[in-house]
Structure 1
Amino acid sequence: MELQDLAIDGYERVLRVSDADAGLTGVIAIHSTRFGPAVGGLRMRPYQTEQAALDDVLRLARGMTYKNAAADLPLGGGKAVIIGDPARDKTPARLTAFGQAIEALEGRYWTAEDMGMTPADLEIVARSTGYVAGLASGEYASGDPSPVTARGVFEAARTTLAHATGSDDLVGKRIALQGLGNVGRALAGMFAEAGATLLVTDMDQARVDEAVAALGATAIAPDAIIAAGADLFAPCAIGGILDAASIPTLKVRAICGSANNQLATPEDGSRLMARGILYAPDYVVNAGGIINAATEVLRIRDRAPFTETRLAAITEFLDRAFTRARAEGVGPEVIADRLVEEKLAAPPADAIAAK
């Protein structure tokens, strides 16, 4: 096992992880431990180059700092990647070796499930490190984060609609929902139960058929969902879908969904604002998953009160971002970043108390 420190400005520690015997190459990035141990998922992808893997893990680690701070969690931000095709290259030896690398950080970074990884994979990683969250079993196991993520998005959508339309009542509201995976399907059920009219799409037609039958949803072709007329568009699939080409076709009042990195570029936030479409910053909206995992990291047995408090923090943060964005004439995503950066720049509470 070889751990090579990479000096990256703005990051507390970045490690290149390699193990020739296990066939392992990966990266662990710790962006910030300002509020607590860095927490973020482990991703496995067939990156074309090591630089591409490094670029991805740095972006994701920074995003976790912002997500955790927005949800008022006592956690920092980090991320990890393994280079390889999860369908072909994932082996117990690679996962065990990566767990050893995480263990060497002595709790400064906790990992969890992400793209290309499963709960069963995490169980293997956990054989060589105690710093794994999102396990299916164990005294503090937090299990499937999807229901909590969906709850957070649902409440965020109500807050977004309240600012966009003047009411958070979902009865009769048209919701165009893209993606019926674990989070998207749970969210669709919540919208339907609240009285919304659902327009749904997914690349898996069986998922669409099930939602139509169970929820009375209307099926929309995947390439037509963005332009479907609705009160709110909920992207719950891939990222980067809001760009210079798609934004002019939108026929909605607001956007709020669980997908990561929905804006293709920073300029796309300005494009939405110019069209009068209210955008809920995705890293704020989809923080339910990390809230769920935090109960495991923080060793919380009575999870419900903690979860409810932190889910409320999502909507409170979103409400402040919308209000300040309107007052300053900028996009909510700009204000969300500023609110987090102000929090990160503030002196620690113990330093204030000592003055």
Structure 2
Amino acid sequence: MTVFQGHEQVVFCADKASGLRAIIAIHSTALGPALGGTRFYPYADEDEALADVLELSRGMTYKNAMAGLDHGGGKAVIIGDPARDKSEVLLRAYGRFVQSLGGRYVTACDVGTYSPDMDYAARESRFVTGRTEAAGGAGDSSILTAFGVFQGMRAAAERVWGRPTLRGRRVGIQGVGKVGRRLADLLAEDGARLVICDVDPAATARVVAAHPMTTVVEGTAELLASELDVYAPCALGQALTDEVAATLDARIVCGGANNQLSHPGIEKVLAERGVLYAPDYVVNAGGVIQVADELEGFSMERARARAAGIFDTTRRIFELAERDAVPPAVAADRMAERRMSEVGQLRGIWL
């Protein structure tokens, strides 16, 4: 059942000429204009798309709050197969709907969309980030998304093993697409041992070509059955189910996927089993930090420095979780909600 969770605005978009069917969800503007990517995905139906965009947009509210951004949370989904249905006219039609919201929602890339797609949308809207560098944008946001996940994983490693490094640790990456592949590069450079899986054989082949010692397994079940120190979900959400939480042997879960917890309560099961969960919306915030920086006139040096702060943020969450005797996911929610409440009160000051 679709659940609205305090969303401010949900817009259904349709353009018959281009074939566009999209939904834009604005969860919160308490901290500023809602910021979040556009997912292009072949949903089974409109109900599935609505449920996804509502959950994703809520996650963006917490992600942007924890990243220290002056942005609320929003998300958009385009219903269709990007390999078949994506076109210039469809993306420009979508850009016009984004523009119609007058800046309440700022979009960027997500699953199924890339920087050149944002260039098309930006020809119709001022409220588009994640554009190509040639168009004055920040380019591929997966660069800093992976970097942020790596920083969160280092903080988790410090918590569990006493040192902020993955050297010698066996890290299983589920999904080596845009983010997972770059995370594999960072982990290999740090001396980790990689175990990977992906539905696309070409994706795993690219990682093996760069890092020949990588172990490739057939799928998620085989990955989870491997002896892992760290499990890094980097594909779609809902990776942490009841079954996974009850059987996972890894000491740490830290990955780039959004909405990893299949339902509330999974984080408690992990904590009870001694598995340290680095909250997904905290560690994967590097990408949104990157595209938000584009709004100021992009500087990779500045954005990377901000994304490096994910290490300290994750460390603070673990400290708060221990102090309050709660799972890290609960500690992260409390920190985000406190910032939204305190900064949101500034709206009462007339300027």
- TM-score normalised to the size of structure 2? 0.90
Structure 1 counterpart SS, 2:226:
coil
- Alignment match, 2:173: 177
- Alignment match, 1:261: 259
Structure 2 counterpart SS, 1:346:
helix
| Inter-partner Cα distance in structure 2 for 1:99 and 1:270 | 41
| Inter-partner Cα distance in structure 1 for 2:348 and 2:33 | 21
2:244 alignment partner, one of 246, 266, 270: 246
Aligned residue type for 1:31: H
Shift of 1:187: 1.3
Aligned residue type for 2:282: V
- Alignment match, 1:221: 218
Shift of 1:95: 2.3
Contact 1:60–1:79 (CA under 8 A) maintained in structure 2: yes
Answer yes or no: is 1:198 the counterpart of 2:194.
Answer: yes
| Inter-partner Cα distance in structure 2 for 1:314 and 1:274 | 25
Structure 1 counterpart SS, 2:261:
coil
- TM-score normalised to the size of structure 1? 0.89
Unmatched runs of 5 consecutive residues or more in structure 1: 1-7
Write out aligned runs for 1:103-114 (5 A): 103-114=99-110
- Structure 1 residues 24 and 139 mapped into 2: Cα distance closer, same or farther (>3 Å)? closer
Answer yes or no: is 1:163 the counterpart of 2:146.
Answer: no
- Alignment match, 1:291: 289
Aligned residue type for 1:307: R
Q: Which moved more, 1:48-57 or 1:157-166?
A: 48-57
Identity %: 44
Structure 2 counterpart SS, 1:17:
strand
| Inter-partner Cα distance in structure 2 for 1:92 and 1:328 | 51
Answer yes or no: is 1:232 the counterpart of 2:207.
Answer: no
Structure 1 counterpart SS, 2:131:
coil
Cα deviation digits, residues 140-166 of structure 1 (max 9, x gap): 410011221111111111101111222
- Alignment match, 1:333: 329
| Inter-partner Cα distance in structure 2 for 1:59 and 1:72 | 21
- Structure 1 residues 276 and 111 mapped into 2: Cα distance closer, same or farther (>3 Å)? same
Write out aligned runs for 1:306-317 (5 A): 306-308=303-305, 310-317=306-313
- Alignment match, 1:123: 119
- Structure 1 residues 213 and 29 mapped into 2: Cα distance closer, same or farther (>3 Å)? closer
Cα deviation digits, residues 92-146 of structure 1 (max 9, x gap): 3332222111112222211112223233322222221121111114564100112
Shift of 1:349: 7.4
Contact 1:28–1:80 (CA under 8 A) maintained in structure 2: yes
- Alignment match, 1:41: 37
Structure 2 counterpart SS, 1:100:
helix
Contact 1:228–1:250 (CA under 8 A) maintained in structure 2: no
Shift of 1:352: 9.0
- Alignment match, 2:6: 10
- Alignment match, 2:316: 320
| Inter-partner Cα distance in structure 2 for 1:224 and 1:335 | 32
Write out aligned runs for 1:57-68 (5 A): 57-68=53-64
- Structure 1 residues 221 and 22 mapped into 2: Cα distance closer, same or farther (>3 Å)? closer
Aligned residue type for 1:15: V
Aligned residue type for 2:50: L
Contact 2:230–2:253 (CA under 8 A) maintained in structure 1: yes
- Structure 1 residues 225 and 98 mapped into 2: Cα distance closer, same or farther (>3 Å)? same
- Structure 1 residues 10 and 209 mapped into 2: Cα distance closer, same or farther (>3 Å)? closer
| Inter-partner Cα distance in structure 2 for 1:224 and 1:269 | 22
Contact 1:72–1:313 (CA under 8 A) maintained in structure 2: no
Shift of 1:348: 4.6
Aligned residue type for 1:304: E
Aligned residue type for 1:275: R
User: Larger helix proportion, structure 1 or 2?
Assistant: 2
- Structure 1 residues 211 and 47 mapped into 2: Cα distance closer, same or farther (>3 Å)? closer
- Structure 1 residues 136 and 353 mapped into 2: Cα distance closer, same or farther (>3 Å)? same
Aligned residue type for 1:219: V
- Alignment match, 1:3: none
Aligned residue type for 2:153: A
Cα deviation digits, residues 63-101 of structure 1 (max 9, x gap): 111111111112221111223333333343332222111
2:299 alignment partner, one of 281, 285, 302: 302
- Alignment match, 1:5: none
Structure 2 counterpart SS, 1:246:
helix
Contact 1:140–1:299 (CA under 8 A) maintained in structure 2: no
Cα deviation digits, residues 2-34 of structure 1 (max 9, x gap): xxxxxx672232222233444433222222222
- Structure 1 residues 11 and 247 mapped into 2: Cα distance closer, same or farther (>3 Å)? closer
Shift of 1:255: 1.0
Contact 2:138–2:298 (CA under 8 A) maintained in structure 1: no
Structure 1 counterpart SS, 2:231:
strand
How many residues were matched structurally?
Answer: 345
Cα deviation digits, residues 180-231 of structure 1 (max 9, x gap): 2122122112111112222222233344344345322223332311122122
